[in-house]
Amino acid sequence: MNEENKNPLLCDTDSGVCAIPGVNESDSSQADFSKVKPVKITYFTDPICSTCWGIEPQLRKLKLEYGSNFEIDYRMGGLLPDWSYNSGGISKPSDVASHWEEVSAHYDMPIDGDVWLEDPLSSSYPPSVAVKAAQLQDTDKAVRFMRKLRELLFLEKKNITRWEVIREAAIAVGLDTFQLKDDYEGKANEMFQDDLAYARKLGVRGFPTLFFTDQEDNQITLYGFKPYQVFESSLLRVFPEAEKKQVQLSTELSIFDYYPTLTVKEYAVIADISSEDAAQTLEALVSEEKLDKIIIKNGVMYKSKVSF
C-alpha cells in the first residue's frame, strides 16, 4: 500500500488491510497476557472495518477448531475519528460506497455500501465505545454484539453510530440496554481511549491486526486479510501443542448450532467446501424451510430459525 493511499476507509485488497493514515510500521511491544489459556490473541479491529468483516470466516473457523487453546482480547482501533482529512481518493462518505462494493467482491462477503449514500456514518467511535460498554457486561455477548452491529451496517445499511441502532443490536444479543447506556456514556469511553493508546504502543497501523502470544511472551503478528491456513499456522507457531477439534457436522444445519447467522463464504470455509457447494446446500435448507434467507445487493446471509 502506498503511503498516499493510507486512508482508513480505503482498504487495500492486495495487502488485505484497512490502514491508519500517518502511522508507519514499527516493532511491536509485547502484549499483556493472562494465563487462562495457552495463547492470547489480541485483536485490534473496528466495527466498520470492511476487511475485518472479510476475515470473519477464518476467525469463526479458528474458534471452532482451536478455541480451547486461546482467548481473544478484542480491542477497538478507532478507524474513523471523523471526516477532517482527504487522502487515498476518499474525502467524503459517498466515496466509500463504491469502494465497499469492490471489497465485497474481493472477499466474497456481502456488503451493501449504499449506507454511505443514504445515511452515512460520521465516525466509528460511537459503535467502538458501545462494544467496550458491552464488554463490561459480558465478554461473550460483546462478541455477538459486535457481529450484530456489523450485520446491521454491512447488510442492512443501518447507521450504527445512532443510539437506536446500537440499542437494537444490544437487545438482539440479550444485553441490558440501560446498563449499556450508562457505561456507554461513562466508563466505556475511558476503555476505548485505553485501546487507542495500547494500539499506539504496539505499533498498530491498520486493521485487522492480531497478536498471537504464548505464556513465554513469544509473539506472532498477523496483519491484514489472510487465508485460514495462515491463521492456523500462526497459532501453531506459538503453541505447537494446540489440539485441533474436528468440527462435527452431523447435518447440514450443524454449523448453525454454533453461529446463528452465516454467509455463503463463512459456511464454505468452516465446512471446507467450495462456495458453490455451500450455496447449493444453504439454498436447499431454505427450500426445506429450515433456514431464513436475507438477500442484499451483493450477496446473501442465512439465519437459523432457532432463537439463541
- Rounded to two decimals, the pTM is 0.89
Cis link prior to 120 (omega < 30° from 0)? no
178 class by beta-carbon count within 10 Å (0-12 exposed, 13-18 middle, 19+ buried): exposed
For residue 24 the three cell numbers come to 508507519
Does residue 39 carry a pLDDT above 70?
Answer: yes
Specify the 3-state DSSP secondary structure of 42.
Answer: strand
| pLDDT confidence of residue 169 | 98
Specify the 3-state DSSP secondary structure of 6.
Answer: coil
What is the C-alpha to C-alpha distance for residues 262 and 265, in angstroms, rounded to an integer?
8
Does residue 51 carry a pLDDT above 70?
Answer: yes
23 pLDDT band, cuts 50/70/90, is: very low
Which domains occur in the chain, in start order? 31-207 (3.40.30.10), 254-304 (1.10.10.10)
Give the residue, 247 or 170, on which the prediction is more confident: 170
What is the C-alpha to C-alpha distance for residues 51 and 62, in angstroms, rounded to an integer?
17
Does residue 283 carry a pLDDT above 60?
Answer: yes
Q: What is the pLDDT of residues 157-189, one digit of tens each?
A: 999 999 999 999 999 999 999 999 999 999 999
| pLDDT confidence of residue 249 | 76
Average pLDDT for 51-73: 97
